[in-house]
Each structure stands twice: as structure tokens, then as C-alpha cells.
Amino acid sequence: SQQGEEDPQALSIQEGENATMNCSYKTSINNLQWYRQNSGRGLVHLILIRSNEREKHSGRLRVTLDTSKKSSSLLITASRAADTASYFCATGGMNRDDKIIFGKGTRLHILP
């Protein structure tokens, strides 16, 4: 299906370390987005990468996309306590009628 699945489901790392989350999907996509959600709040858009792009950067965030493996990764460098949140990938299908579909998310906890 178009729906992305994040891996791992939960991740705990020490503050200052890098955090890597992965997203896999099964059908071809037009683009892939990453969102962050703090506990009980709305989602915040982080970055969008299109199917013809391989890598994008935004501040401490680095996103890669490998369409041959149907996977994407989100790397957060030099993690901070404020990075504690759930992270979701959202895939956009190839057809114009396709809506973006969210995965179940990775819960990231940054330890002090």
C-alpha cells in the first residue's frame, strides 16, 4: 500500500546524539513528507522530498529518499530535549486523486 511504516516504533537516545528514523512504503509515490507531533498536539510539517530527489537538509534535519528500496530516513543531528516527540512519514501517491497517507509514527525520547 501507499502507507508508510516507520521504524523503529520507539527510540530513546542521549541528548547530543544523532537520531535516525526510517520509513518504508510499498507502492510508487510522488513525494514523501515528515511531520513531528508533540504529545497531544497537532502535527508540524518538517520537510518534503519529491520522488526525483535523493536528499534534503533543513537545519539539523537530513532526509534521504531511496525510491528503488521504497524507503526514506530522517536524521536529527545533535539531538536536544525539545526534539522529544513522535515523528510521522506521510506519502503522496502517483495519482492526483491520492491523498497523503500517514504512518503510525516513531516515538523519540531524548534523555538528559
Query: Measured from the CB atom, is 44 or 111 closer to another protein?
Result: 44
Using alpha carbons, list the distances in angstroms from residue 99 to 18, 51, 67, 107. Answer: 31, 16, 19, 24
Residues that bind another protein (CB under 8 A): 3, 30-31, 33, 35, 40-45, 48, 88, 92-93, 96-104
Query: Measured from the CB atom, is 35 or 110 closer to another protein?
Result: 35
Query: Measured from the CB atom, is 103 or 110 closer to another protein?
Result: 103
Close Cβ partners of 94 (under 8 Å, ≥ 6 residues apart): 27, 28, 29, 30
